[in-house]
Amino acid sequence: MLSNKTCSAVRTAINALQHYKVLNTLTNDCFDKALETEQQLSNEQKNNSPLYGRPILIKDNYCLQDTYTTCASKMLANFRAPYTSTIVQRLIDSGCIIVGKTNMDEFSMGVASWGVFGPVGNPWSVKKATNIDEQNSKKLLHVAGGSSGGSAAAVAANFVSIALGSDTGGSVRNPAARCGCYGFKPSYGLLSRYGMIALVNSFDSPGIFTRSIDDLILTINAIAGPDGEDATLLSKPFEQFQTSTELLKEKKKITIGLPDEYDINKLSSEYRSCLQHLVSQLTETGEFTFKRVQLPYTPYSNAAYTILSSCEIASNMSRYDGIKYGHHTNNIDENKDTYEDILRKTRDESLSERVRGRILAGNYYLLEENYEKYFVQSQRVRRGVTNDYTKVFEEDKVDCLLAPVVSDDPITHAEYEQSDTIFTDDDIFTVGANLAGLPALSFPVQVSSKGFPIGLQLIGPFLQDQALLSIANRICSTYKFPFLDLTKQD
């Protein structure tokens, strides 16, 4: 039987999500189903899963059978998934209770989690300001990062302790750093992508938000492993990760690389000082050493990522024509309109300018006359980025890299609305791990002078995910971050 504390977890999560609707963390709720599931679990014999009875949230690009899966787009506003994502199903099988689907950038394209349902608010804004309403929210609420901002905000606010996101170029690590929680992007191929709506197949990775490394490990252990539905998944059996208590027993001295290329001019003095202070603090323990390393292809990584992602987006988005599923225009002249006319009208009505722009750019790069100088050249850069990482791990003998995730505090929704930002200078910190398929973890370090969390990230060698989490666990045990908890705030 579930304890009273566990039985109340779903209701507590629902109350918090309803009370803080201003943060706009959800696209669709599963409240009734969650309460029903909780009651069913309470009447059943408890299984051995440590996740049994835990309320969770999933980003709205994960399929959940018979539930709206919208990708925060008008195109899929009425789409009910006919099946459930592999990793979502594994969480359900472990006893997790899905409370809702979280808000995001439309089709995961953006850095503010601002789609057709409006923007996600940064929960630290609520701590800073009171009496936020629809009239003043854009001036008082700050961006939560993207594209998985709804999941990050909900975990950071302690509405739930675990949520799923997806990371294509930093879409888990960026909002985790903005909101103040852990955000993990595993090695490419470690977690099944089946049932996660694709943005860029060769970059996409399921991601996890938590408030502790223990919960990260528990979640990975529940969802990793071979899946016949995903041909890109590693075929070998998954070996369960050790708990943080077991990880702390390892006392090997750690060598961490500090890439010169990530020390960009835009990095604010406070964020640079945060990194430098952590390096000094860890050095004093005697358990860590640091060395400068070089990643020569990093300055070209943003351009390569932009081109390659746009090309795959153009291919993936071709399925959204309004014929098989999704929004279909009613503005049709049956005597005149061709299929191309109907497609154009459908997309004009249901896809944002940003999404249509990425499709247009991708098709441009793939034109016969452009293919070699854009797509092929970007693939060469991608190989160079991968080789850079291999060199620092194998030849420079570093166990992982320490780097920023974002360069400064978040801006308000009003300020973001005035910008045309799709890609930012901060992408240079995050896209490399996706280009190379490496594991990376964003973790909170301190609170800025303006009252927002400052997060850093660790990047590790391919398939050394457990080793990376072990290092992170040792680092985070040297200080105490003041996690936000809006459930205890009046």
Count Cβ atoms within 10 A of the Cβ of residue 279 and give its class: 0-12 exposed, 13-18 middle, 19 or more buried.
middle
Q: Are 201 and 166 in contact (CB under 8 A)?
A: no
59, 101, 185, 345: the catalytic one is 59
Selection from 379, 381, 481 nearest residue 156 by Cα: 481
Residue of 166, 171, 378, 442 marked active site: 171
- Pairwise CA distance, residues 462 & 187, whole Å: 6
Is 147 catalytic? The answer is: yes
Q: If DSSP codes are grouped into helix, strand and coil, which group holds residue 313?
A: helix
As beta bridge partners, residue 457 has 403, 442
Q: 210 has which bridge partners?
A: 162, 182
Residues 347, 342: Cα–Cα separation, whole Å: 9
- From 451, 442, 441, 444, select the one nearest 479 (Cα to Cα): 444
Please report, as a single letter, which amino acid is at residue 188: Y
Q: Does the active-site annotation cover 59?
A: yes
Which tokens belong to 259? 């890439």
Q: What are the DSSP calls for 5-57, one per residue?
A: HHHHHHHHHHHHHHHTGGG--EEEE-HHHHHHHHHHHHHSPP-S-TTTT-EEE
Count CB-CB contacts under 10 A for residue 340: 8
> Which residues pair with residue 256 across a beta bridge?
290, 400
What residue type is assigned to position 289 of the chain? T
Query: What are the respective helix, strand and coil percentages of the chain, to the nearest 5?
Result: 40, 15, 45
Burial state string for 404-435 with b = 16 or more CB within 10 A and e = fewer than 16: bbbbbbbebbeebeeeeebbbebbbbbbbbbb
Residues 73, 137, 147, 151: which is the catalytic one?
A: 147
139 is catalytic: no
Give start and end residues of each alpha helix (H) in 395-451. Answer: 413-417, 427-436
How far apart (Å, rounded) are the C-alpha atoms in residues 11 and 22? Answer: 19
Whether omega for the bond prior to residue 147 falls within 30 degrees of 0, making it cis, is yes
Q: Where are the alpha helices (DSSP H) in 132-243?
A: 137-140, 149-156, 173-179, 213-223
- Among 294, 291, 269, 270, which Cα is nearest to 282's? 291
Catalytic residues, by residue number, are 59, 147, 171
